[in-house]
Amino acid sequence: RKEVEQDPGPFNVPEGATVAFNCTYSNSASQSFFWYRQDCRKEPKLLMSVYSSGNEDGRFTAQLNRASQYISLLIRDSKLSDSATYLCVVMDSSYKLIFGSGTRLLVRP
Amino acid sequence: DVKVTQSSRYLVKRTGEKVFLECVQDMDHENMFWYRQDPGLGLRLIYFSYDVKMKEKGDIPEGYSVSREKKERFSLILESASTNQTSMYLCASRVSRGGPSYEQYFGPGTRLTVT
Burial class of A50 by CB neighbour count within 10 A (0 to 12, 13 to 18, 19+)? buried
Cβ of A43 within 8 Å of Cβ of B90? The answer is yes
**Going along chain A, which residue ranges are E strands?**
4-6, 11-14, 19-25, 32-38, 45-50, 55-57, 60-65, 70-75, 84-91, 97-99, 103-108
Nearest to A97 among B98, B104, B107 (CB): B104
Question: Which residues pair with residue A49 across a beta bridge?
Answer: A34
Contact A1/B at CB under 8 A: no
User: Do A89 and A99 contact (CB within 8 A), yes or no?
Assistant: yes
CB pairs under 8 A between A and B: 38
pLDDT digits (tens, 9 = 90+) for B7-43: 999 999 999 999 999 999 998 999 999 999 998 888 9
Best mutation target, B1, B102, B103, B110, to test chain A (most A CBs within 10 A): B102
pLDDT tens, residue by residue, B42-96: 899 999 999 999 999 999 999 999 999 999 999 999 999 999 999 999 999 998 7
Distance between CA atoms of B74 and B55, rounded to whole angstroms? 10
Residue A55: is its pLDDT beyond 60?
A: yes
Integer-rounded Cα Rg, in Å, for chain B is 13
Cα gap A90→A71, rounded to integer Å: 10
